[in-house]
Structure 1
Amino acid sequence: MGKAMDSEVDAAIIGQANILQYLYSSVESIALKCAVELRIPDIIHSHGRPMTLTQIAIEIGSTSPSLNINCLARIMRFLVHKQVFDEMSQSNNGESLYSLNQSSKWLLQDAEQSLVPLVFMRNHPFITSPFQCLSQCVKEGGTAFQKTHGREMFEFASVNPEFNLLFNQGMACTAKITTKAMISEYGGSFDSIGSLVDVGGGTGAAVAEIVKVYPHIEGKKL
């Protein structure tokens, strides 16, 4: 009886842990956005070597006379825990040094391949606020985006330049990454192609990457 009770308690704790993990998972994306907005990956990259928290804070260049370094420390500690940055201790005074790793290199704003536009898109209220309407969609039908913004997504983009730019930049950055990978693995498949049409390709980022490597191809987007 005791073992059965212990097993039931363990299962309940695991269930609670799962729910708490789901509840707080949104914090991960928000912390990424914070790091990108502060340009922390770019600051470390430009420095050329690992940096202390104080050095990062100075480079952030806040207009406030009292930049909250404790808040910055908590954000960096969280992102180190999530393996977005690496942390090591200096041998002389034990102060932590922060460096980029294979995850944070994707957050460099001026890199040829970067996920920064997607970070901004996925965390913008244009995209996040419709999720508050999911239960309403179940009860009433329709789409969450339309209920939130009064129009479907692409119709809304046609009358809202800010959202149109945000969405297209977010989609284009992933299109460039996947297209480069596709060219790397299957590049020879494009040798015999004379023209290529990107249907529903937004700004045409995918076909542009292909034409860049294979200039003999006439690329179009629809």
Structure 2
Amino acid sequence: MATAASIKVPDNVVEETLEAYAILWNQTFSHIKSMSLKCAVELHIPDAIHRHGMPITISQLLSSLSISQDKSRYLRSIMHVLSQECIFKSHITPSGEETFDLTRVSRLLLSASSFPHKPNTSPFVLLILDHHMVDSHHQLSRWFHELDATITPFAMANGNAVWDLTRELQQFNDLINKAMECDSNFLMNVMASTKEGPFRGIGTLVDVGGGTGLMATALVEAFPGLKCIVFDLPHVIGKTEKKTNMIQFVAGDMFVEVPHADVALLKWILHDWKDEDCVKILQRCKEAIPPKEKGGKVIIIDMVVGLTFNSHTSLQTQFLFDLQMMALCMGKERDESEWRNLFVTAGYKGYKITPYVDHLRSIIEVYP
């Protein structure tokens, strides 16, 4: 009889086990990628490379950031991790010196002072990687055993629901507002440049949950003659300033009543809410707009999961965002059949999806 020591494991089994082990470790350490990205944003590394005007050495980067040279080994490690993820690009010069440069990804992280009139997504990165958000995911396994159906992983981690926390913590509220503003800037750079699409020819528009009004400001600049109403909660509207006579700020509750306009815009709103809440919001919007024949419609900017996207990265990001919304506020990202069910239940007659916004989100035009 063969002993345990004499049993030979086939080479292919050993190789597959080692590969599985490496995959498991890589996944286990993946949070370090995100934390390295947060570090790079907080240190303003993309801006430092941009100011340098050419690929930069670690020593030059440390000097630019006013960081001690004895941290060079550790900064190099962070840059190696982020270069593997295509955030930066590593070069080896003919003399054997390593330098780092920006990529199309890290150019999205440049501040307005470095790259004016271009989208800066750094505030969004800092929001998603803020400890209030990250801590929520430490509660997932405990949340699955939680009997209270109203509590969220976010509330379990932070002692309060997300929108309640924005009222209590000004810093967290500012973080959310800045993230939403930078995202609105990004979207308008994508959409308004063509002067075409669903916003053309609209007389009045109500931006439901419009925050500080940056999306509305970009819309009225891109589409002359358009008048916008920015509609949000009183504590949000109370901190805004009127930026143009083409924009009116109105405080209220979208579950009760939405101001009347030709078109209602819901940008990244419905994924925050459960289906029954979304139906209520859509019904309030339907009451606020005219019939389709007179130009009435609701424009939704949100994800339609799996729609025409062949990219593994895009689809995986949609799935990750779905988990983010679940942990944050029991919201979710929806596929087309789930969207259709909402529209039918809310009493709408038809819809049109344009899946082009940023390879993640779509524009949905819904008709009463």
Both proteins in one fold, TM over 0.5: yes
Aligned residues: 217
Alignment of 1:20 with 2:25, yes or no, is: yes
Alignment of 1:54 with 2:82, yes or no, is: no
Partner-residue secondary structure (3-state), 1:68: helix
Number of the residue aligned with 1:69? 72
Alignment of 1:160 with 2:169, yes or no, is: yes
Q: Does the CA-based 8 Å contact 2:59-2:69 persist in structure 1?
A: no
**Distance across 2 between alignment mates of 1:103 and 1:82:** 10
Number of the residue aligned with 1:205? 214
Q: Does the CA-based 8 Å contact 1:180-1:209 persist in structure 2?
A: no
**Distance across 2 between alignment mates of 1:82 and 1:209:** 32
1:89 is aligned with what amino acid?
A: I
Number of the residue aligned with 2:50? 45
Deviation at 1:84, TM superposition (A): 1.3
**Distance across 1 between alignment mates of 2:25 and 2:178:** 32
**Distance across 2 between alignment mates of 1:90 and 1:191:** 50
Partner-residue secondary structure (3-state), 2:145: helix
Percent of paired sites with the same residue:
29
Alignment of 1:135 with 2:141, yes or no, is: yes
Deviation at 1:121, TM superposition (A): 0.9
Q: Does the CA-based 8 Å contact 1:57-1:67 persist in structure 2?
A: no
Q: Higher relative contact order at CA 8 Å, sep ≥6: structure 1 or structure 2?
A: 1
Deviation at 1:147, TM superposition (A): 1.4
Q: Which has the higher strand share?
A: 2
* More displaced stretch, 180-189 vs 135-144: 180-189
Shift in alpha-carbon separation, 1:66–1:181, aligned structure 2, 3 A = closer
Question: What is the TM-score with the length of structure 2 in the denominator?
Answer: 0.54
Deviation at 1:201, TM superposition (A): 2.6
1:144 is aligned with what amino acid?
A: P
Q: Which has the higher helix share?
A: 1
**Distance across 2 between alignment mates of 1:37 and 1:191:** 38
The 5 A counterparts of 1:86-165 are 86-91=89-94, 93-110=95-112, 111=115, 112-141=118-147, 142-165=151-174
Q: Does the CA-based 8 Å contact 2:89-2:101 persist in structure 1?
A: yes
Deviation at 1:164, TM superposition (A): 0.5
- Structure 2: stretches of 5+ with no match in the other structure: 1-6, 232-368
Partner-residue secondary structure (3-state), 2:196: helix
- Structure 1: stretches of 5+ with no match in the other structure: none
Q: Does the CA-based 8 Å contact 1:195-1:217 persist in structure 2?
A: yes
Alignment of 1:84 with 2:87, yes or no, is: yes
Number of the residue aligned with 2:189? 180
Q: Does the CA-based 8 Å contact 2:206-2:229 persist in structure 1?
A: yes
Question: What is the TM-score with the length of structure 1 in the denominator?
Answer: 0.87
Q: Does the CA-based 8 Å contact 2:119-2:185 persist in structure 1?
A: yes
**Distance across 2 between alignment mates of 1:66 and 1:14:** 37
Q: Per-residue displacement from partner, 1:31-62 (whole Å, max 9, x unpaired)?
A: 11111122111011011112221111111113
